[in-house]
């Protein structure tokens, strides 16, 4: 799964779709393993995006505190 051009919102949408399909039984059993692998990659991608955003916010907050 190539996530280079994917945004956080797109990845979350894909995760929500996979979860919905798994819950309502529309995810074919033959695709289950590959879809779980995709979900794992999407989760890791989202975690990395959130961590990066959190670090950026902390930098900005620390910079504004030192300016005050």
Instruction: Tell whether 58 is covered by a domain.
Output: yes
Q: Residue 9 above 90 pLDDT? A: yes
The full DSSP string for 8-48 is HHHHHHHHHHHHHHHHHT-S-GGGHHHHHHHHHHHHHHHHH
Q: How many CB atoms lie within 10 A of CB 24?
A: 8
Look up the pTM and report it.
Answer: 0.80
Contacts of residue 63, defined as CB under 8 A and 6 or more positions apart, other chains included, come to: none
- The tally of domains found in the chain comes to 1
For residue range 10-42, what is the model confidence (pLDDT) as tens digits?
A: 999 999 999 999 899 898 889 988 999 999 999
Instruction: Tell whether 39 is covered by a domain.
Output: yes
Q: Report the pLDDT value the prediction gives residue 59, as an integer from 0 to 100.
A: 93
Q: Encoding tokens for residue 43?
A: 């989760």
Instruction: Tell whether 43 is covered by a domain.
Output: yes
Rounded mean pLDDT, 34-56: 95
Q: Report the pLDDT value the prediction gives residue 65, as an integer from 0 to 100.
A: 81
Instruction: Tell whether 48 is covered by a domain.
Output: yes
Instruction: Tell whether 24 is covered by a domain.
Output: no
With pLDDT > 70 as the criterion, what percentage of the chain qualifies? Answer: 99
């Amino acid at each position: 799964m190539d996530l280079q051009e994917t945004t956080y919102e797109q990845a979350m949408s894909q995760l929500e779709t996979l979860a919905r399909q798994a819950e309502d039984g529309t995810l074919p059993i033959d695709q289950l393993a590959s879809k779980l692998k995709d979900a794992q990659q999407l989760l890791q991608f989202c975690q990395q995006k959130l961590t990066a955003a959190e670090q950026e916010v902390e930098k900005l907050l620390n910079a504004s505190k030192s300016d005050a």
